[in-house]
Structure 1
Amino acid sequence: MEKSVMVVGIDDSDHSFYALEWTLQHFFSASPENSPFKIVVVHAKPSALATVGLAGPGAADVLPYVDMDLKKIAARVIEKAKEICAAKSVNDVIYEVAEGDARNALCDAVENHHASVLVVGSHGYGAIKRAVLGSVSDYCAHHAHCSVMIVKKPKIKH
C-alpha cells in the first residue's frame, strides 16, 4: 500500500519549526517507518527580484547578492529541518526549496506530490499584520486541494 503524502511548509521562523516538530511528534513518534505518511518538507525561497522590488537605479547591481543571501537562508532552513527530523528518527523525508511566494509554492507542492495533508505553522499575526502581510495559512486553507492543518505554537503565559 502506498503511503499518503504530507507536505510540511517551513520558513525560518520558530513557528514553522514548531509545526514540523509537532507533526513529527504526533504522526511519526511511535514508529517512524510505520507511519501512514510520507513526508515532504518544503521551504519557499522568495526571488531576489521580489525581495528587492523596484528599488530604482542600481537595484540590479544588488540582485546577485540578495539571491546569494536567500540561498544561504534556504540552505540553513533545510539543514535545521533535517536536524529536527533526524532527532525524531524520521529519515525518509524529501526536502525541497521552491522559488516564489510561499502561498503558491505550498499549493504547488501539494499538487505535485498529490498530498492528502498540508501542514503549516501559524505566526499568530493580529488582524492588521495579517491584512498587510497576508496569511500563508489562510491562503492555503482556502486554495490547497487537500486538508490543511494549521499548527499554533502555544503562547507563553507570564
Structure 2
Amino acid sequence: MATTTEEKSVMVVGIEDNQHSFYALEWTLDHFFKNYSPSNSPFKLVVVHAKPTPSSVIGFAAGPAGTVDILPAIEADLKKIAARVVEKAMEICHARNVNDAKVEVVEGDARHVLCEAVEKLHASILVVGCHGYGVIKRTVLGSVSDYCAHHAHCSVMIVKKPKTKS
C-alpha cells in the first residue's frame, strides 16, 4: 500500500564537501530507496548541508586586524562550496531516480544544524558519514557523527566508507 507524503517518515542525510558524506548519501539511496518508486518510497528524504560561518572558518588565530577585509571573500567561497555540494547531492539523487529529495543549506556548525533539522522536521532517522578518524583526531577536530549519535532525538545511522585495499 502506497503512503502519501504526509504519512511518510522523514529521513535526514547530513552532507558536507567530502567523499565520506557523498558515499553515505549513495549508500542510503541504494539501501532505502532503490526498490521504490517516488510515490511509494518509505521515507521523505531531506538532505542537509551545514554551511560554516565565515568567522568559524577564520578562527581566533587570525586576530581582529584585517579580518573584516577577508570576510566577504570567505563568504563567497563558502557559498560556492555549498552550491557545489547541493548540485552533487541532486546529481546523486537523480542518478538513482530519487527526484523528490529536498536539499537544504543551513548556516552553522554541522553538529547543531543536523540535530536542529531532526527536531524541526520530526525526522525518524539521521544518516551521517564517517571520516574514520582515530581517537586523537576525533578529540581535536570534534566528531559530527559522535555528537549526533548522542544528541539527535532520533535514530542515527553512521555510514562508513569501506577502506580500499592497496
Normalised to the residue count of structure 1, the TM-score between the two structures is 0.98
For residues 35-74 of structure 1, give each alpha carbon's deviation from its aligned partner in whole angstroms, at most 9, with x where no partner exists.
1100000000000011112322001110010000000000
Task: Supply the AA of the counterpart residue of 2:28.
Answer: T
Q: Out of 29-38 and 6-15, give the one that drifted further.
A: 29-38
Q: 2:157: which partner in 1?
A: 149
Matched, 1:30 2:35: yes
Q: Secondary structure at the match of 1:32?
A: coil
Matched, 1:59 2:67: yes
Normalised to the residue count of structure 2, the TM-score between the two structures is 0.93
For residues 84-142 of structure 1, give each alpha carbon's deviation from its aligned partner in whole angstroms, at most 9, with x where no partner exists.
00000001111100101000000010011000000000000011110100100000000
> Cα 1:115–1:132, aligned 2, differ >3 Å: closer, same or farther?
same
Matched, 1:97 2:105: yes
Provide the identity percentage: 71
Moved over 3 A (4+): none
Q: 1:8: which partner in 2?
A: 13
Q: 2:49: which partner in 1?
A: 43
For residues 13-56 of structure 1, give each alpha carbon's deviation from its aligned partner in whole angstroms, at most 9, with x where no partner exists.
10000000000000000123221100000000000011112322
**Unaligned ranges ≥5, structure 1:** none
Q: Out of 50-59 and 86-95, give the one that drifted further.
A: 50-59
Task: Supply the AA of the counterpart residue of 2:89.
Answer: A
Matched, 1:118 2:126: yes
Q: Note the aligned Cα RMSD (angstroms).
A: 0.8
Distance (whole Å) between structure 1 residues aligned to residue 77 and residue 165 of structure 2: 35
> Cα 1:137–1:32, aligned 2, differ >3 Å: closer, same or farther?
farther
Instruction: Say how many residue pairs are matched.
Output: 158
Q: Secondary structure at the match of 2:123?
A: coil
Task: Supply the AA of the counterpart residue of 2:53.
Answer: S
